[in-house]
Structure 1
């Protein structure tokens, strides 16, 4: 049993398909099938249940998957620890879409200037996907908005951020001196898809005040939420970091009077994986933001 066999096995298990796994690995499907067959001969039983269009793990495959992930993680961490010079290496950072394009560019630029030999890899995804990647060691850090169910992960809060009301310029609330949450209750909302935690933050804040926002449209991009508001499809709430980069005069932002809606931005990481001095330095820069 060699390392390539384990990597091939894990990719097939992840993709649940020999065809898709072979494409990812850039090898032929027959070569991949032979590798898995040799692996099964060595363990003495099948690790995959073959179906017409997919594969699934057998009981033996489930056990092997856990052990293979541990073996490869140990080897990867050992190599990283041996070569850790505090200046070179990679930092794999994940962030949710409502944070990545607004918060990360300046952080990455400053870190690259301080550590020019470092390689920064950024992955943008939903909260659940990033937590899974962090748990499995596919990324080193994930920048998310609370709350998160971070089992077996360490977490540190970085800052609290206000959510601002965004309106089309012609909206009746634009000229109102003080806007309370009750003032927006009659109006339809444009929100992100349910997979995005920002929508949960908004809905949760409203529900705490006995108000259920009615979403007339949902989209997968925060920029599209802003555009739909500009077109008077509805109103919404936008993180302050996104508002700071919005130079358009086709939208108007207002802060609520009284208790304001906010979200808490945090960083999570897997404490069971080796963290190089470079990764620790990146985490320290995040604390300074």
Structure 2
């Protein structure tokens, strides 16, 4: 049994499809199929139940998946520990889309200046995907928003930031000196898709103020939310870090009077994986 066979097997199990797995592994599908076939011959039973367009793990495959992840994790951590000099190495960072483009560039630049030999890899995805990747060791840490619904991960709060009301320039609320949360209740909202935790933050805040926001449009990108607001499709709440990067005059940002909506940004990592000196240094860079 070879390590590449285990890696190939895990990729097929993850994608549930030989074609997609082969594309990500950058090998031909026949080569991937032969590798899995040899693995099954050695084990004496199938690890996948083949269907027309997908594959499912058999009982043997489920056991092999857990053991393969353990084997590869131990080997990777061993190599990292042996070669850990505090200067060279790889740090795989995950972040949700409403944080990555606004918060990470400055952090990455600062860290790279101090550790020029480090290899930084950034993955942008939703909370659920990043938690799974962090737990399985596919990334070293994830920058998320609390709460983080995950066991076996260490979570550290970084900072709290305000969510600002964003309006089109000629909206009725722009002329008000003070805007209360109750003032936005009659107006339609533009939000991100439900897969994004920012939408949950906004809806939860509104419900705590005894009203359900009427969502007229959803989109997958925060910049599109801002553009739809500019076109008077609705109003929304935007993280302060995104507002700082917005130089457009086509939107107006306001802070609520009284208790303000906020979100808490945190970093999560798998404490059962080897923590290189470079990774520890990166977490310290995040704290600063």
Q: CA deviation at 1:38?
A: 1.4
Q: 2:160 is paired with a residue of what secondary structure?
A: strand
Gaps of 5+ in 2: none
Q: 1:91 is paired with a residue of what secondary structure?
A: strand
> What TM-score, normalized to structure 2?
0.98
Distance 1:71 1:226 in 2: 46
Distance 1:265 1:216 in 2: 27
Instruction: Kindly tell me the number of residue pairs found equivalent between the two proteins.
Output: 288
Report matched runs for 1:67-82 at 5 Å.
67-82=67-82
Distance 1:220 1:23 in 2: 25
Q: CA deviation at 1:257?
A: 0.3
Q: CA deviation at 1:23?
A: 2.1
Distance 2:197 2:178 in 1: 27
Which residue of the partner structure matches residue 240 of structure 2?
Answer: 240
Q: 1:173 is paired with a residue of what secondary structure?
A: helix
Which residue of the partner structure matches residue 13 of structure 2?
Answer: 13
Which residue of the partner structure matches residue 213 of structure 1?
Answer: 213
Distance 2:32 2:251 in 1: 53
Which residue of the partner structure matches residue 226 of structure 2?
Answer: 226
| Structure 2 residue 90 is the aligned partner of structure 1 residue 116 | no
> What TM-score, normalized to structure 1?
0.98
Distance 2:27 2:245 in 1: 43
Which residue of the partner structure matches residue 98 of structure 2?
Answer: 98
Which residue of the partner structure matches residue 147 of structure 1?
Answer: 147
Distance 1:124 1:23 in 2: 20
Q: 1:250 is paired with a residue of what secondary structure?
A: coil
Q: CA deviation at 1:28?
A: 2.2
Which residue of the partner structure matches residue 48 of structure 1?
Answer: 48
Q: CA deviation at 1:160?
A: 0.5
Which residue of the partner structure matches residue 273 of structure 1?
Answer: 273
Distance 1:233 1:145 in 2: 27
* Residue deviations 1:7-61 (CA, integer Å, cap 9, x gap): 1111111121222222222222222222111111211211111112211110000
Distance 2:27 2:188 in 1: 51
* Residue deviations 1:126-146 (CA, integer Å, cap 9, x gap): 000000100110000100011
Q: CA deviation at 1:150?
A: 1.7
| Structure 2 residue 87 is the aligned partner of structure 1 residue 66 | no
Distance 1:136 1:274 in 2: 13
Q: 1:138 is paired with a residue of what secondary structure?
A: coil
Which residue of the partner structure matches residue 250 of structure 1?
Answer: 250
Q: CA deviation at 1:213?
A: 0.6
Aligned-residue CA RMSD (Å): 0.8
